[in-house]
Chains A and B, each alone.
Chain A
């Protein structure tokens, strides 16, 4: 970029006379390389010390039987034993994988469907739309708080509010959160209930769809459903993609609600043993930090793999309009 005087701005002439423009600009340019690293230094220190070094340490630990009580210098290298145990000798590990996959596969699509449905209902301009938007967003904001998880668990107790509601129709409820067949579903409902964040992103996407497209489709005789399928869905596909990736990664990391429901055990009968909870129990309850590190690395690779799969399949269904509009 050329270093010229910005339009509409004349060089200042003060008591000291005209500034030595060329020298001043040159000096600023001269210091930019160093200044870049000065400003970047906190982040760089953080990257090295808080992110990169722990990652290397964690990779090394995953090949050891580190238990935090023995000093790091005396840790025993065990090769692939942790990974072997994880994949072949620890049924509760596979169970945790299944619980997490089930949770993500069911809760994420339903949450996105709810988000899109409500966004479509709200996609009109009228008084009060802002209030609705805010109220739907509120549960997402309270998100992973312990307080919300506590409320949820109590609501789906044997004598909780949900069963009282069922009783109005003469249906006898279950102790949902204590029932191994239903505890995970209770957590799914909690996740779906927090559809506000993707909903707001959908709303922003819907605002970008040109009205002319709907008008053209209507002129061609397309009904509501046809217009949704032929106009809304393709135009919205980049936003759907964005939400899908974000919510899936988010879903894999669910911890707080599962911890609160089971008091940190993953119960009843391991039915809510989410991957991150299993990792926490291995590392901080059983103090098997080498084993937990191996688990963490598989988790990282799994998330990277899933993201990669999303991005490689995305080009078959995500539609990007060429130029973008001029607004």
Chain B
């Protein structure tokens, strides 16, 4: 590089920094545009949705929310309750069962442990679509599909630690807990159950929180399994209910459809705001997918 004056030498990186920032701002605008557009459309009147191509409404109308909320006989409130229940119970099931499995695979010594660990890693790559048909048949033959409590096919797998991802995440986490703590507790007379209860459980809080956040968001957003297993309108969860708008293709449904879409993203968005740092760092360490 040729010699430059001190002033120019200082200005160059600063220009580059400004250019970098400008490029980033443009990309952010593109990335956020669809979301802002969705928000704007959800408060536009029917006439404005057709005629006003601007991002924001000239005339703010919350009517779409009222109309969407009371749509489809049972109302969207019911769908939200269903989704909330399924998601929260999934969180409990995943956190509990995956922690137990991870403690066994990551901390205890027993026969065939390596074999089971390898099998667990193997199931990590197994696509859910492969199992959906036989699982449907199994749950159906047990009378659980469309039964008294139609959510069992959605929930049971999560209470049996079938989401290998979280097992793996927690095994990795537990490797970081010093072995000396286990040994000390053992010397004090603790059994493996005592070690779990008094050492591992309290120290696993960060892993449990990460698991809880991601299993909530994934279940809330999940569509495939809920579409397959829920068949009665009043049992529908939010994602399945949203597709009712598409079925009723009439143009007048666009406003309410957008309003309910916004509401359906709200819980995930609030989680995002609350745990932004953790979410982003969580996928750093584990490769978790959104």
Contact = CB atoms under 8 A, between A and B. Distances in A.
B101 A145 contact: no
B53 A161 contact: yes
Interface in B142-201: 156-157, 159-162, 167, 179-181, 183-184, 186-193, 195-196
B160 A147 contact: no
Nearest to A163: B53
B80 interface: no
Contacts of A164: 53
A151 B161 CA distance: 34
A253 B127 contact: yes
A29 B186 CA distance: 8
Nearest to B224: A255
Dominant secondary structure of chain A at its interface with chain B:
helix
B109 A32 contact: yes
Contact of A3 (B162, B183, B195): B183
Given A200-B280, A242-B287, A58 B131 contact: yes
A298 B69 CA distance: 42
Contact of A147 (B116, B128, B133, B265): B265
A295 B56 CA distance: 46
B277 interface: yes
A164 to B, nearest CB: 4
Interface string A6-29: 110101100000010100110111
A247 to B, nearest CB: 9
A36 B108 contact: yes
A51 B126 contact: yes
A37 B110 contact: yes
A204 interface: yes
Contacts of A5: 184, 187
Interface string A68-111: 10001000000000000000000000000000000000000000
Contacts of A196: 290
Interface stretch (A38-46, A225-233, A318-326): A38-46
Interface in A133-182: 133-148, 150-152, 154-155, 159, 161, 164, 167
Contacts of A37: 104, 110
A281 to B, nearest CB: 12
Interface stretch (B22-30, B70-78, B202-210): B22-30
Given A204-B284, A284-B228, A194 B290 contact: yes
B276 interface: yes
A194 B221 CA distance: 15
Interface in B236-290: 238-240, 242-243, 245-247, 249, 254, 257-258, 260-262, 264-265, 268-269, 272, 276-277, 279-280, 283-285, 287-290
Nearest to B181: A6
Contact of A133 (B116, B265, B280): B280
Interface string B217-234: 100111110011000000
A201 interface: yes
B127 A43 contact: no
B125 A307 contact: yes
B217 to A, nearest CB: 7
Contact of B31 (A21, A135, A151, A167): A135
A121 B280 CA distance: 17
A118 B161 contact: no
A47 interface: yes
Interface residues of A, number: 111
B195 A42 contact: no
B11 interface: no
Nearest to B125: A307
Contacts of A216: none
Nearest to B119: A47
Interface in B91-110: 97-98, 100-101, 103-105, 108-110
A176 B28 CA distance: 24
Output the residue of B119, B133, B223, B239 with the most chain A CB within 10 A.
B133
B239 A145 contact: yes
A161 B95 CA distance: 41
B258 A151 contact: yes
Contact of B24 (A11, A132, A292): A132
B35 interface: yes
B141 interface: yes
Contacts of B192: 28, 31-32, 35-36, 39
Nearest to A120: B20
B97 A118 contact: no
Interface of A: 1, 3-7, 9, 11-12, 19, 21, 24-25, 27-29, 31-40, 42-47, 49-51, 53-55, 57-58, 61, 66, 68, 72, 118, 121-122, 124, 126, 130, 132-148, 150-152, 154-155, 159, 161, 164, 167, 193-194, 196-197, 200-201, 203-204, 242, 246, 249-250, 252-253, 255-256, 259-260, 263-264, 276, 279-280, 283-284, 289, 292-293, 296-297, 299-300, 303-304, 307
The 8 closest A-B pairs by CB, nearest first: A46-B160, A36-B110, A140-B290, A35-B192, A54-B134, A147-B261, A43-B101, A39-B104
Interface of B: 17, 20, 23-24, 27-28, 31-35, 37-38, 41, 50, 53, 97-98, 100-101, 103-105, 108-111, 113, 116, 119-120, 123, 125-138, 140-141, 156-157, 159-162, 167, 179-181, 183-184, 186-193, 195-196, 217, 220-224, 227-228, 238-240, 242-243, 245-247, 249, 254, 257-258, 260-262, 264-265, 268-269, 272, 276-277, 279-280, 283-285, 287-290
Given A61-B137, A263-B247, 5 more contacts: A31-B191, A40-B104, A72-B141, A143-B221, A204-B285
